[in-house]
Amino acid sequence: MSRVHLTQLKLASFRNFERARLDCDRRHVVLTGENGAGKTNLLEAVSFLTPGRGLRRATLEEVARSPGNGAWSVYAEIEGAAGPATLGTGVVETALGPESQRRARINGAAARTAEEFLEHARIVWLTPAMDGLFTGAASDRRKFVDRLVLAIDPAHGRRVADFEKAMRARNRLLSDPAPDRAWLDAIEAQMVDTGVAIALARLELVSLLTGVIVRSADPDSPFPDALLELRGSLETLAPETAAAELEDGYRDRLAASRRADAAAGRTLEGPHRSDLAVSHRPKAMPAQFCSTGEQKALLVGILLAHARLVADLAGHAPILLLDEIAAHLDVRRRAALFDRIDALDCQAWMTGTDRSLFSALGDRALYCHVAGGTVKGEAGNAG
């Protein structure tokens, strides 16, 4: 198994960084500094080296430095799954203003989509905004599951985007007093194809992840085992239903619900309504009723199990982005987390206000200080 890691990160006009450069190695990267210094911005930059909108789900305009012209770039040198490579992404300024989509480049050549980044690295993250995952909206849990699926199934992001596009088109058609039935049939056929594939991919992820959790179960672990369950009409039927029958049933239900969906102004059934239920397995307690500390430990445990799953399936562990991770864990859990990350043989990028929180890492990490739109590493590399 090869260790995927960044060896250089460069930013231009990204968030509060006019320009920044950080040279690193196989070690973990610890970014410290005051609140608002830009530590999370650096993690966000790395998160753009994978499909999607990054760890904050920001718009391209929000990412661009202000004041500025709307253009920005992220560049990285990486020892990746396919060997040494350069990855770049960003928004280019034109005579008419900044482009509306970000570009992706690999080894200096234009990539067709950002999905091609997945051939070189898988990147997953945990941020303070996810601390309320178990008590917040179901949509946040769906996005969480889809991000986990994407790390093992690069086509998943496209399926989700295609389903949502078709669903929006169906909703628009249903708002017409006399919608074209043939056109509705065609759109619903697209929703069925992609919707069933989404549900099956999510179920496979949960099944594989559960297998990892069960195999590595440790009653003394500071990160309790999680029990995961997907809840939704397709997910409930799938285990006992052939894929073709699942598609036929969903197609029939979409056709039968046109009037109700038109009245509601939205589609009432499909993978966009599914939810992830998580329980604290040792306590047999739903995660939303656990203490804040237990919820955090459960979330970390799921992320670590997922990283192990990615390593098993892809042949290399993902790069982990852990924002303000140390401040929310006690001393024992911090040390255990660092040891677990090492056991995965992955590179982790972590942030915190106080370097002492990472003392258990010792020389396993590169320590960098972020302040005033600059980042300085051990060797004095500055941006």
Same-domain pairing of 302 and 180: yes
The CATH number given to whatever domain includes residue 269 is 1.20.1050.90
> How does DSSP assign 10-36, residue by residue?
EEEEETTEEEEEEE--SSEEEEE-STT
Q: Using the predicted structure, report yes or no on whether residue 62 has a pLDDT greater than 50.
A: yes
Is residue 127 included in any domain, yes or no?
no
In a domain, 57, yes or no: yes
Angle (nearest 5°) at CA 341 between 215 and 10:
140
CA distance 313 to 375: 34
The DSSP 8-state label assigned to residue 64 in this structure reads: B
Q: Is residue 357 part of a domain?
A: yes
pLDDT at 378: 67
Is the pLDDT reported for residue 380 higher than 60? no
The token pair at 173 is 């058609």
Q: Are residues 205 and 305 in the same domain?
A: yes
The overall average pLDDT reported for the chain is 93
- In this prediction, residue 183 carries a pLDDT of 96
| pLDDT given at position 94 | 87
Q: Where does a domain end: 299, 314, 329? A: 314
Over 80: is that where the pLDDT of 328 sits?
Answer: no
What does the pLDDT look like over 349-362, one tens digit per residue? 999 999 999 999 99
Q: What is the pLDDT of residue 382?
A: 46
Report yes or no on 365 lying in a domain.
Answer: yes
- Please give the pLDDT value at position 188: 97
Query: Which amino acid would we find at residue 379?
Result: A
Last residue of a domain, one of 314, 339, 366: 314
| Residue 57 or residue 381, greater confidence | 57
C-alpha distance from residue 323 to each of 39, 78, 191, 293, 341 (Å): 8, 21, 36, 16, 15
Supply the CATH number for residue 359's domain.
Answer: 3.40.50.300
* 129, part of any domain: no
User: Which residue from 30, 24, 31, 20 is spatially nearest to 8, judged by alpha carbons?
Assistant: 24
Same domain for 231 and 309, yes or no, is yes
Classify residue 6: in a domain, yes or no.
yes
Count of structural domains, the chain: 2
The Cβ-side half-sphere exposure at 197, using a 13 Å CA radius, reads: 16
The reply to whether 45 and 72 lie within a common domain is yes
Band (pLDDT 50/70/90 cuts) for residue 91 is very high
356 lies in the same domain as 227 = no
Summarize the confidence of residues 148-167 as an average pLDDT.
95
Q: Is residue 168 part of a domain?
A: yes
Residue 192 CA to residue 254 CA, distance in Å, equals 9
pLDDT beyond 80 at 38: yes
Q: What is the mean pLDDT of residues 290-311?
A: 94
* Residue with the larger pLDDT of the pair 154 and 196: 196
Same domain, yes or no, for 299 and 325?
no
Strand order across the 348-352 sheet: 123-126, 319-322, 348-352, 28-32, 365-371, 374-376
DSSP for residue 317: P
Q: Domain of 344?
A: 1-122+316-383
Q: What radius of gyration do the chain's Cα atoms show?
A: 22
pTM, two decimal places: 0.91
Q: What are the phi and psi torsion angles at 204 (to 5°)? A: -65, -40
Q: Are residues 257 and 275 in the same domain?
A: yes
Last residue of a domain, one of 256, 279, 314: 314
**Is pLDDT of 118 > 80?**
yes
How would you label 369-381 residue by residue, b for 16+ Cβ within 10 Å and e otherwise? Answer: bbeebbbbbeeeb
Domain for residue 128, yes or no? no
Q: What is the mean pLDDT of residues 65-81?
A: 94
Q: Are residues 227 and 335 in the same domain?
A: no
Looking at the chain, the whole-number percentage of residues with pLDDT higher than 90 is 87
Does residue 267 sit in the same domain as residue 214? yes
Residue 223 and residue 159 share a domain: yes
Asked if 101 and 209 sit in the same domain, the reply is no
What's residue 247's pLDDT? 97
- Does 215 have pLDDT greater than 60? yes
Range 131-144 average pLDDT = 95
Residue of 314 and 272 predicted with greater confidence: 272
Long-range contacts of 215-218 (CB under 8 A, 24+ apart): 216/305, 216/308
Q: What is the pLDDT of residues 239-286, one digit of tens each?
A: 999 999 999 999 999 999 999 999 999 999 999 999 999 999 999 999
User: Are 56 and 117 part of one and the same domain?
Assistant: yes
